Structure 1
Amino acid sequence: MTGPLRPAFHEGQVLAAADLSATVEYARGGAARHARHLHEWGIVEGLGLVTQPRTDPLTGVRHVEVSVAAGIAVDGTGREVVVAEPVVLRESDFEEVNGADQSTDEPYPVFLTAADREPAQPAGPVSCSGSATKTRVEESYQILFGRLGDERLAAEQQPPAIGDPPADPPVRWLVLLGYVHWADGHFSGVETAARGVAARFAGVRADTVSARSGALTLRTGTETQEGEPALVLTGGETPNLVFGLYQGGGAVAPLMTVAANGNLTIEGSFGGRMSAGSTLVTSGTATDGMLLPLPSGVTPEQVADGRVVIHVHLTPRIPPLADSALFSPVEATVDADRRVRCRVRVYNPSVNWKQPVEQPGAVDFLVLATVAATNGGG
C-alpha cells in the first residue's frame, strides 16, 4: 500500500487536468486527515436550531418557524461543511419523511450532511476546445429530517481508513444538529437533546496542552459568563490550580485552590468517600417512628453492602412532667432500617391514680459510621 502522493513538477512539463486536480486533492486530503485524527468531529461554530413564532393564517394555529443558523461543522471523514447563511427548514420536507406518523410529543432529529453541487454560474472562461464542462464544484450541504430513533445512526457511523481523503457524495456522514417537535401540521418547538443523544460539538485530541501566557483556563462556554465555573492553571512565581466561578469582570473567584506546596484551600464544606479507619458522626433528637439520618458523606448503599458499619446509641428523653408524676422508659430501640421505636410509661396520680399511661417517647441519638482499618492501619 502506498502513502499519499504529492505532485511534483519540472520545467517544460505539460500540465494536464489530472496534474492540477492532484495538487488540489493532496492539500485537501492532508487537511481532512488533520481534522479527522487530531479533532473530534461535530459542530464547530453556529448551526443551532432557531425558532420564530408564527400563526397559520388559515387555521389560526400558533407554531414556530425553525431555521438553522449559519455555521461550520466537520464530519467524521474530515470534510468541512459550511452553511454560509441561515436556512429556514421546510415543513414539506419534514412531512415527506414523517408525515404518515401518528401524533406524538417525541422530537424528530435534524441532520446536516455534505453535498457537492455545480455552481449556478460558470467560474472562469470556457476551455479552448469549446467544452462547457464546469471548472468548479460547490462544496454545499443538505439538511435532512430523520425518523424517530434515527439519532442513533450518527453514533454508529464508522470513519474511513487512516490515509483516506474526505468522503465525497454519495457517501454521506450525518451531523446531528438537534430535534424538532411537530404538531397540527407545523413545527412547534426545538430541542438540543432527546432520548439520551445530544447534538455533537467538535473537540480536540491531545496529550499535552500548553499555554504561552503562563495561564491555562478551561471553561464551559465560549464566552465568560458570571456564575459559570472555570478551572485555571497558572505558573510563574506562584503556581497553583484554581477552581472557581466567574465574576462580573471576568475574574475567577476561587472555590478551591491547590498551591505549589500541596496545600488545599476550599471555601465550602468537604465531603467524599470515607477512608479506611475513619469515623463519621451525627447526633440529634428523634421521636418514635422517625428514621435516623446517616452522617454526611455516608450513603445507604455503603451501609447495605457492608463498606460502612453503623453504630447507634439511644438515650430516652424525659418528657415534661408534673411535680407528682413518675416516668420510666419501656422501649428505646432502632431496627435494621434505622427506625426508632420509643415507648415510655408515665404515672401521674393527679390525672389517673389507678394505672400509668404508656405513650410514644423521644430519644437523643448518636449515630457513628465506621470503616474498618486494613492490616496496615490505612
Structure 2
Amino acid sequence: MTAPVRPTFLEGQVLAAADLAATVEHARGAAARHARHLHDWGIAEGLELVTDNRTDAATGARYVEVSVAAGLAVDGTGRELVVPSPVVLSEGDFASVNGADLPTTEPYPVFLAAADRVAPASGLVSCAGPAGPSRVTESYQLLFGRLGDELLVADQQPPPVGAPPADPPVRWLVLLGFVRWTDGHFTGVAASARRVSPRYAGVRADTVSARSGTLELRSNPVPREGAPAIVLSGEDPPNLVFGLYRATGSVSPLMTVAANGNLTIAGSFAGRISAGSVLAASGTATDGMLLPLPAGVTPEEVADGRVALHVYLTPRVPPPATATVLVTPVESTVDSERRVRCRIRTYDPVVDPGAVTDRPGAADFLVLATVGGDR
C-alpha cells in the first residue's frame, strides 16, 4: 500500500480527468481515514426502525409497516452512509430472502450498506467520443439477513491504515435492528436479538477537553429527568459531580468530590469490607426482638461462615417498686436466629412470700461481626 498522493498543478497545465479525480479522491481518502481511526464506526444519528399499525384488507389481520428513519452511519471503512428521508422496508424483499423459513417468533436482522449509483451520461460530445457519467451518487441499500447473520457484523475487518473508503462491491454491514415476520407481514421490531444490538459511533481519544470549563457525560443525547450524569467542573469551586437530571436540565448531585478531596454523598455508603475487619451494632432489645446485623453484613454471609458474630447482652434490671421487692434477671440469651430471650423475676417476701413473678425484660446488646479472609 503506497502512501496517499496529493495532486499539484502548474500554470498552463492541461488538466486531465484523472487529475481532477485525484483531487477528489485525496480529500475523500483523508476524510475516511479520519473517520476510521479517530472514531468507532456505527450509527451516528437516527436510523431507528419505526412501526405503523396496518390491517390486511383481505384477511383483516393486524400487522405493522416498518420504516427506517432518516439518519447517518459511518461504516468500518470510514465511508458515510446517508439516508436522507424515511424508507419503508419492502415485504417482498424480505420474503425473497427468508420467505421459505418455517414460522418463527425469532427476529431477523436488518442491515444498511453502501451502494454507488452512477448517474446517466450527460454533457457535450467531445472529439474523444461521447461523454461518460460525471456523477456518482454515494447511496445505500437496505438488506435483510438470515437468522444469525447479525453475528457477521463482529467478524468484519477494517481495511489497511492508509486505504480510502471501500466502494462496492466491497460491502460493510451496519446492523439497524430486527424485524418479526408472520404470515406474509412484519409484526414487530426489536432493538436486540441473540445478545446482539446495533452499534453506535464513538470517539477514540486519550484527552477530552471542554472549552466552557465544564465537561458533561450523560447516557442520552438529550438530558432526561432522572437519567444519570457526570459533570467535571473547572469553575470556582472545581469539583466532580455524579447525579441525576432534574426536569430543568440541571444535575441534582448524589455524589460530589471537591478539589480538596472531600467526598459528599446524598445516600448511604456501602461496599466490600476487607478481611480482618470488625463491625459493630449496639442498642437495647426487648424480649423476642431480633437483633440487627452491623451495617454491611448480610444474613447470607453469616449463614455460610464468611462472617462470625459475637453477641453480648446486659440485662436491664428495673428499680424495685418498694423497699421489700427483690428484682433479678433469670434469663438473658440470644438464639441461633439472633432472637433475644430476656426475663425478669420479682419477689416480695414481705407482702406476698408465696408468689414469684416472671415478666419480659430488656437488655442492652452489642453485636460484633468479624470478617474472614474469603469474604
Separation of aligned partners in 2, 1:222 and 1:200: 15
What is residue 3 of structure 1 aligned with on the other side? Answer: 3
CA positional deviation for 1:216 = 0.5
Aligned to 1:197, what secondary structure does the other structure show?
Answer: coil
Shift of 1:89: 0.3
Flag the 1:37–1:304 CA change in 2: closer, same or farther, 3 A: farther
Q: Does 1:310 align with 2:308?
A: yes
Q: 1:148-167 alignment to 2 at 5 Å?
A: 148-167=147-166
Measure the CA separation in 1 of the matches of 2:127 and 2:98: 50
Distance 2:303 2:42 in 1: 43
CA 1:305–1:29 in structure 2 vs 1: closer, same or farther (change >3 Å)? Answer: farther
Query: Does the aligned pair in 2 maintain the 1:109–1:151 contact within 8 Å?
Result: yes
RMSD: 3.4
| TM-aligned CA distance change 1:341 to 1:224, over 3 Å | closer
Secondary structure of the corresponding residue to residue 141 of structure 1: strand
The residue aligned with 1:210 is 209
What is the percentage of aligned positions where both structures have the same residue? 67
What secondary structure sits across from 2:188 in the alignment?
strand
- Where does the alignment leave 5 or more consecutive residues of structure 2 unmatched? 316-329, 342-363
Aligned to 1:77: 77
- Aligned counterparts, 1:12-27, within 5 A: 12-27=12-27
In the alignment, is the contact (CA less than 8 A) between 1:310 and 1:367 conserved in 2? no
Which stretch of the first structure deviates more once superposed, 71-80 or 20-29? 20-29
- Give, in whole Å, the separation in 2 of the partners of 1:131 and 1:216: 58
2:77 and 2:286 map into 1 onto residues whose CA distance is 64
Unpaired runs of 5+ residues, structure 1, are 318-327, 344-363, 374-378
SS of the counterpart of 2:154? helix
CA distance in 2, matches of 1:365, 1:206: 56
The amino acid of 1:180's aligned partner reads: V
Shift of residue 32, structure 1, vs aligned partner: 0.5
2:324 alignment partner in structure 1: none
Question: 1:249 Cα deviation (Å)?
Answer: 1.5
Runs of 4+ in 1 over 6 A off after TM superposition: 282-287, 299-306, 339-343, 364-367
Is residue 106 of structure 1 aligned with residue 84 of structure 2?
no
TM-score by length of 2: 0.80
In structure 2, distance between residues paired with 1:36 and 1:265: 41
**In structure 2, what is the equivalent of residue 172 of structure 1?**
171
> What is the TM-score with the length of structure 1 in the denominator?
0.79
8 Å Cα contact 1:247/1:253 also seen in 2: yes
* Counterpart code for 1:167: A
SS in 2 for 1:54: strand
Q: CA deviation at 1:303?
A: 7.2
How far apart, in 1, do the equivalents of 2:274 and 2:96 lie?
A: 60
Instruction: Report the structure number with the largest CA radius of gyration.
Output: 2
Residue 361 of structure 1 corresponds to: none
| Distance (whole Å) between structure 2 residues aligned to residue 244 and residue 208 of structure 1 | 23
| Equivalent residues of 1:115, 1:139 under 8 A apart | yes
Instruction: Give secondary structure in 1 for the equivalent of 2:67.
Output: strand
**Cα separation, 2, equivalents of 1:332 and 1:16:** 97
The aligned residue for residue 88 of structure 2 is 88
Q: Which residue of 1 aligns with 2:253?
A: 254
Other-structure match for 1:145: 144
Cα distance in 1 between the residues matched to 2:296 and 2:125: 77
